[in-house]
Structure 1
Amino acid sequence: MRGIPPAGHAGAPDRAPRQVDDLLGRARAGDGEAFRGLVEPYRRELQVHCYRILGSVQDAEDLVQETLLAAWRGIGGFEERASVRTWLYRIATNRCLNALRANERRPHERPACRSGVPLPEPSRRRSEPSWLEPYPDVLLEGIADSAPGPEARYEVNESVSLAFLAALQQLPPRQRAVLVLRDVLGYRAAEVADLLDTTEDAVTSALKRARAVLTRELPVADRESAPLPGSPRERRVLDRFARAFEAGDVEAVVAVLTDDAWLTMPPTPLEYQGPGAIGHFLRVIELREDHRYSLIPTRANGQPAFGCYLRDPRTPVLRAHGVLVLALEGDRVSAMTRFADNSLLPSFGLPRSLRG
């Protein structure tokens, strides 16, 4: 077998030890189908794991492919000191760290917000860009079935939210990996030390620093007040927002925002907080007179989102204009995250253009 078998469906069913032993023995003998049966149940959760560390859907998929190829090549040396799942996480985590160290993600190729006019003065200016992309909800299906260990602090939906991912991006790579392994996946400190070839003391120290940053960076939100996904209450908020946005009615958009709402535009390190600052940005940049949008509903990172299409009065064709992801609190919008990269749209099943 020269490459990894094609991807299959996710969802990791419990398998009897005898079945795993059979697949493992056949895979070691060079049976590619057995290897696929051994690792395929973990493909999707590995992709989400790599996404949490890297912040990029495409980079995560590339690293999963590298992980499975490395696992295939190294299957003969798998000593069974840990489960197949833990072994794959070890490979994937270290591949992600190597990619970050080697700067293989080429962030200079990722588009920033290009408005053609100067951006207003922000409420906050980050020292570094945030190289973060939205993750389509369709790729999260079945992930919740993979229960985290007892050390986990975050639920699946919380650990893929854009707020959590943006906070992770503020951490150095090693701290990022430690926090995900400990607080998201629930591995014990000794297990993380083994996965990363380090000491328990180093893991404990890194985790303490990482938690301090997340405590500072994560917004304090009442998650219980957020409407249930797909509920009538959520639809009412989203319909109200979409009508105002498509009409270019800045006052109506602002009326849907919470008093402490944020507008961010990764990778642009400029952030706007509050209805006043966000409203000014919308008037000057996003919803100025020559900008009228059509919004197509989708979901990203467990949150409501829209594919954005810009109308052109000279043609019936609407041009793709990135993705907009919202966070909701009660009947209001507490965060707007704008992604200008049109290459994201296919992963959401959205076209590059529409006919009006």
Structure 2
Amino acid sequence: MNGDEPDFDDLTRRYRGELHVHCYRMLGSYDEAEDHVQEVFLRAWRSRENFQGRSSARTWLYRIATNACLDTLRRDARRATRAPSGTEPSVAVMPWLQPYPDAELAADQPDPETTAVSRETISLAFLAAIQLLPPRQRAVLILRDVLTWPATEVAALIETTVPAVNSALQRAHATLNRRWPRGRLDWAPAIEPDPEQSRLLQRYIAAHEQADPEALIAVLHEDVRLSISPAIGQWAGREQVARALRAGMTTLGRWRLLPTTANGQPALAGYLRRPTDEAFHPFVLSVLHIEYGQLTEITAFEQPSLFPAFGLPTSL
């Protein structure tokens, strides 16, 4: 770079999307990723005269992004949250976690294998899993396993040694393997919705809009899990989830649902019209995991502020 503004603007357009996804993986929050990408380019602009071209502009920007995220993770006491022993982490105990709109994924994937890895490592299950890792281990895991950077480049980026990078990656793998012995199989979303899944989504929508919780309970897997963020609660098993759905679907008001996608998974935007309202207003984004023709997980985010990021209307 010569420090001239047109070149910097081109750099911003070229790398903003993938840096946003990188910060999202590091932080688990769409809103925080947005803030950090702005910070990355601000830091880059201020230090542009010091860029000597010894690495690519992409590597330089990833170094700034990773260090900005590490700074935040080290400062933020919320990130010390850990799931109780023997349980899996969920949005209910990690209230900063947010869904990511598929439409914004920086996804020019050259081959099916790369596409599969991208889907797995943007899934909510993977995001929740890596929140268990200390900040540097998380950074190493993302740079090595997700972005497939050589250990030498990762070591240079985070200013450490290759043996230290390899050790951090080994410890990260050990932590994840203890909780998920099957590895990717435990957090990979379904490849593509098939007709049966599409029918299930329509049943989900109809059940809400017709205030018929029993219709939705009928498609729950025996081991279904429900988590509602921020910090509202989590339920495991059909019996517990059924009680939560009976209360939430029939006591708050009337529902309208719109289909969308998040984190490579089917999702539904729930609009609620309370008795005193004239319109349906944004209320909850629910990300679904479907297996065996049944709902195995519902991850709900009562965060209406996220609706614009998904291109959803402000009312119905």
* TM-score (structure 1 length as normaliser): 0.77
Separation (CA, whole Å) in 1 of partners of 2:5 and 2:63 = 21
**Higher gyration radius (CA):** 1
335-344 or 292-301, which deviates more: 292-301
1:327 corresponds to: 289
Paired AA for residue 187 in structure 1: W
> Is the alpha carbon distance of 1:325 and 1:352 closer, same or farther for their aligned partners in structure 2, counting shifts above 3 Å?
same
Paired AA for residue 63 in structure 2: R
Separation (CA, whole Å) in 2 of partners of 1:44 and 1:217 = 31
1:160: Cα distance to partner? 0.6
1:173 corresponds to: 135
> Is the alpha carbon distance of 1:136 and 1:181 closer, same or farther for their aligned partners in structure 2, counting shifts above 3 Å?
same
2:149 corresponds to: 187
What SS does structure 2 have at the residue aligned with 1:175? helix
Separation (CA, whole Å) in 2 of partners of 1:206 and 1:50 = 19
2:218 corresponds to: 255
Paired AA for residue 14 in structure 2: P
2:227 corresponds to: 264
Q: Does the alignment pair 1:133 with 2:133?
A: no
1:110 corresponds to: none
Q: Does the alignment pair 1:244 with 2:210?
A: no
1:98 corresponds to: 71
1:58 corresponds to: 31
Residue pair 1:222, 1:329 contacting (<8 A) in 2 also? no
Separation (CA, whole Å) in 2 of partners of 1:153 and 1:173 = 26
Residue pair 1:125, 1:271 contacting (<8 A) in 2 also? no
1:347 corresponds to: 309
Which string of whole-angstrom CA distances, capped at 9 and with x for unpartnered residues, describes residues 168-225 of structure 1? 2222211211111111111122221111111222222222222223234459658899
> Is the alpha carbon distance of 1:124 and 1:248 closer, same or farther for their aligned partners in structure 2, counting shifts above 3 Å?
farther
The percent identity for this pair of structures is: 46
Paired AA for residue 129 in structure 1: M
**1:17-96 maps to which residues of 2 (within 5 A)?**
24=1, 28=2, 30-96=3-69
Separation (CA, whole Å) in 1 of partners of 2:304 and 2:79 = 17
Q: Does the alignment pair 1:275 with 2:275?
A: no
> Is the alpha carbon distance of 1:137 and 1:100 closer, same or farther for their aligned partners in structure 2, counting shifts above 3 Å?
same
Which string of whole-angstrom CA distances, capped at 9 and with x for unpartnered residues, describes residues 124-169 of structure 1? 89795342001111101x423378xx9x897111111111111122
2:190 corresponds to: 226
Gap regions ≥5 residues in structure 2: 81-86
2:176 corresponds to: 214
> Is the alpha carbon distance of 1:289 and 1:329 closer, same or farther for their aligned partners in structure 2, counting shifts above 3 Å?
same
> Is the alpha carbon distance of 1:182 and 1:343 closer, same or farther for their aligned partners in structure 2, counting shifts above 3 Å?
same
1:259: Cα distance to partner? 2.3
Residue pair 1:179, 1:210 contacting (<8 A) in 2 also? yes
What SS does structure 2 have at the residue aligned with 1:317? coil
Separation (CA, whole Å) in 1 of partners of 2:186 and 2:79 = 36
* TM-score (structure 2 length as normaliser): 0.86
1:157 corresponds to: 119
2:109 corresponds to: 145
1:78: Cα distance to partner? 1.9
Gap regions ≥5 residues in structure 1: 1-23, 108-122
> Is the alpha carbon distance of 1:106 and 1:165 closer, same or farther for their aligned partners in structure 2, counting shifts above 3 Å?
closer
1:200 corresponds to: 162
What SS does structure 2 have at the residue aligned with 1:228? coil
